[in-house]
């Protein structure tokens, strides 16, 4: 990873807008086994022109726009305030989200010098409502021997006495990945702008039994029944992914447990682990240290070798410090995912203000690093989601935070529409390049559903690639065409397709961006997941899609299956973007109700 060898951070305006100055010295390059590709020749290349046509603009996906400007100029939101010509951020993993003394804090991996990964610091923004944000100066940056070659991902924990701390991975001079602690310099500062890294760091270093180049991303800590603090760090041994458990009485001296909290063969490096309790009933979130009756646990890991995540639901045995997934949770790369699309390095936190657990995720670009350099920005944080355990106890459910609805503007409603085979209609009256769309479908004629091959059960993505939106089916494909051109030569399809298997029906949810742009060289993968619904019993299924210029986030069946895609239209931009509802199945589909809202832009960085 690249790093700034000497940095001078200087703030000169308090409360809402923060200026800072970065005096850049020598940048060293380090190559170790890591979660991101380091483009050594590109990581510090400034953009000559910043192209904002496809930059996201509504809610928190535009956290990418917390642009660092040099020469002690203001931090800018490129979408809302304009971008200085030499600012071109790369924004990867969300880190250390927390709610503290009336403010939401989000830290995130950030390259202030380039739009590819490298030169990473911990950027920092605050909000009162998760919608309107103020960018502060970076909280953590390479400056001491234990992180001089990189400040990588980590988590925040609130200690007794209402004292927040950060644990993060640093790269030391030997290129070992070590775990460090940082404290707010001044707890009376409501923005927690400055953070101190004690010289007794690292607090956790890899011992002889730990791969020092695969040892990163400490989790939020929890306090067990015996009073010990506990956390996990992602790692691997050969091809076995694992989360290594550590215990501490004082949060400074940590001791490795005799065994990992959990591991799984042939899954490779486990990055960005997250471990937390969920209530068996209701949507209420739980603090990470809650335990007892009526609670299950979730372990999520990000798989370095596949670049997606999976999670399991299971039981945590506090006395043995052992986590065991339920039999209904596949414990490998075929397992449940928060999001079946472009979504990685996620992090949750407990929101004590509203008693909920909130999920953040990173969606990377799908074009080339050279294009990222040309357009001058890269990477977004997805819209934060509330997350809870489904009533079945088998999986999680997600839904965009309720605050997103405050950005809804112009509203159109479509009711009681019938979609015959091959039919479609356009949703007019809003700018659909930035929109929130909720639609429900009445499904019948299930006897015409296509047969389901059992070999498809572990690879929904491949099935979607084989049966795209343009491939006619029995029941479906039906759904939305978003970011579409007027003649639909350019479109991104979000749809369902129903199959019949032995004694049940299988519902597939897909994102198909194969016709999202005619531009050559784009990565346009189909993404898909199966939806756990009894369509024969309900005869209905719902879909919500949030559209924001170059990102589409979709929630099927009230959040049981979620998919995020990055797309780069050439024609369907701004007012030239169209929204259609379509049915390419042989049976009719009814749309009892569709609601679509044009989305307003939030207040970002005080503007």
Compute and round to an integer the Cα radius of gyration of the chain. 23
pLDDT of residue 91: 59
Identify the helix (H) or strand (E) that includes residue 592. strand 589-599
pLDDT of residue 602: 84
- Residue 304: left if φ>0, alpha if ψ -120 to 50, beta else—which one? alpha
| Whole-number Å distance between alpha carbons of 29 and 59 | 35
| Number of neighbours of residue 86 by Cβ within 10 angstroms | 16
The answer to whether the beta carbons of residues 116 and 378 sit under 8 Å apart is yes
546-to-49, 56, 114, 327, 432 alpha-carbon distances in Å: 28, 11, 28, 33, 10
C-alpha closest to that of 432 among 389, 491, 482, 375: 482
The answer to whether the beta carbons of residues 415 and 427 sit under 8 Å apart is no
Question: Which residues lie across from 381 on neighbouring strands?
Answer: 362
The answer to whether the beta carbons of residues 313 and 389 sit under 8 Å apart is yes
pLDDT tens-digit readout, 132-149: 999 999 999 999 999 999
The answer to whether the beta carbons of residues 550 and 568 sit under 8 Å apart is yes
Residue 80: Cβ-neighbour burial (10 angstroms; 0-12, 13-18, 19+): middle
| Number of neighbours of residue 12 by Cβ within 10 angstroms | 10
pLDDT of residue 105: 97
* 3-state DSSP helix/strand/coil % of the chain, to nearest 5: 5, 45, 50
Tell me how far the alpha carbon of residue 158 is from its chain's centroid. Answer: 22
Identify the helix (H) or strand (E) that includes residue 372. helix 369-375
C-alpha closest to that of 90 among 472, 383, 371: 371
548-to-47, 106, 554, 603 alpha-carbon distances in Å: 23, 21, 12, 16
pLDDT tens-digit readout, 241-287: 999 999 999 999 999 999 999 999 999 999 999 999 999 999 999 99
Tell me how far the alpha carbon of residue 234 is from its chain's centroid. Answer: 18
Residue identified by tokens 């503290």 is 100
pLDDT of residue 103: 97
pLDDT of residue 19: 30
pLDDT tens-digit readout, 20-42: 332 333 333 333 344 454 444 44
pLDDT of residue 119: 72
| Whole-number Å distance between alpha carbons of 190 and 482 | 41
The answer to whether the beta carbons of residues 271 and 302 sit under 8 Å apart is yes
The pair of structure tokens assigned to 51 is 């192209």
pTM of the full predicted structure?
0.87
Q: Which residues of the chain have pLDDT under 70?
A: 1-92, 114-118, 366-378, 604-607
The catalytic residues are 93
């Amino acid at each position: 990873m690249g790093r700034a060898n000497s940095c001078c951070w200087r703030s000169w305006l308090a409360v809402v807008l923060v200026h800072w100055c970065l005096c850049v010295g020598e940048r060293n390059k380090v190559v170790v086994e890591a979660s991101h590709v380091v483009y050594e020749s590109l990581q510090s290349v400034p953009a000559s022109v910043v192209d904002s046509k496809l930059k996201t603009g509504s809610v928190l996906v535009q956290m990418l726009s917390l642009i660092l400007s040099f020469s002690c100029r203001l931090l800018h939101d490129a979408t809302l305030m304009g971008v200085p010509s030499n600012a071109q951020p790369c924004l990867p993993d969300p880190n250390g989200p927390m709610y503290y003394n009336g403010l939401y804090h989000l830290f995130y991996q950030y390259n202030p010098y380039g739009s590819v990964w490298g030169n990473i610091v911990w950027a920092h923004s605050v909000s009162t409502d998760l919608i309107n944000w103020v960018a502060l100066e970076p909280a953590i940056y390479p400056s001491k021997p234990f992180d001089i070659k990189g400040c990588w991902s980590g988590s925040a924990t609130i200690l007794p006495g209402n004292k927040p701390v950060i644990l993060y991975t640093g790269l030391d001079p030997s290129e070992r990945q070590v775990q460090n602690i940082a404290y707010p310099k001044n707890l009376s500062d409501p923005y927690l702008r400055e953070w101190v890294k004690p010289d007794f760091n690292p607090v956790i270093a890899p011992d002889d039994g730990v791969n020092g180049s695969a040892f990163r991303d400490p989790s939020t800590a929890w306090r067990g029944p015996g009073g010990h603090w506990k956390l996990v760090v992602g790692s691997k041994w050969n091809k076995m992914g694992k989360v290594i458990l550590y215990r501490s009485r004082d949060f400074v001296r940590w001791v490795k447990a005799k065994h990992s909290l959990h591991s799984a063969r042939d899954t490779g490096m486990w990055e960005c682990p997250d471990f937390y309790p969920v209530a068996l009933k209701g949507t209420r979130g739980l603090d990470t240290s809650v335990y007892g009756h009526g609670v299950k646990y979730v372990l999520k890991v990000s798989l370095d070798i596949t670049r997606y995540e999976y999670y399991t639901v299971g039981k945590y045995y506090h006395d043995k410090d052992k986590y065991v997934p339920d039999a209904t949770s596949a414990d490998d790369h075929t397992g449940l995912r928060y999001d079946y699309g472009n979504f990685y390095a996620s992090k949750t936190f407990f929101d004590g203000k509203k008693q909920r657990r909130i999920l953040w995720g990173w969606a990377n670009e799908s074009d080339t690093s050279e294009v990222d350099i040309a357009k001058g920005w890269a990477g977004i944080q997805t819209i934060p989601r509330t997350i809870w355990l489904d009533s079945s106890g088998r999986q999680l459910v997600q839904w965009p935070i309720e605050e997103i609805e405050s950005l809804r503007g112009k509203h159109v409603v479509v009711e009681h529409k019938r979609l015959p085979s091959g039919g479609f209609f356009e949703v007019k009256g809003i700018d659909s390049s930035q929109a929130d769309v909720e639609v429900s479908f009445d499904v019948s004629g299930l006897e015409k559903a296509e047969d389901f091959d059992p070999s498809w059960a572990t690879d929904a993505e491949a099935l979607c690639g084989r049966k795209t939106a343009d491939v006619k089916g029995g029941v479906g494909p039906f759904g939305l065409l978003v970011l579409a051109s007027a003649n639909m030569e350019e479109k991104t399809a979000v749809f369902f397709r129903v199959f019949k298997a032995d004694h049940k029906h299988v519902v597939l949810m897909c994102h198909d961006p194969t016709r999202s742009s005619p531009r050559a060289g784009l990565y346009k993968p189909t993404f898909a997941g199966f939806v756990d619904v009894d369509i024969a019993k309900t005869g209905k299924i719902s879909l919500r899609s949030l559209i924001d210029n170059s990102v589409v986030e979709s929630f099927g069946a009230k959040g049981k299956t979620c998919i995020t895609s990055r797309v780069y239209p050439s024609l369907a931009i701004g007012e030239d973007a169209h929204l259609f509802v379509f049915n390419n199945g042989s049976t009719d589909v009814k749309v009892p109700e569709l609601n679509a809202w044009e989305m307003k832009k939030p207040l970002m960085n005080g503007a």
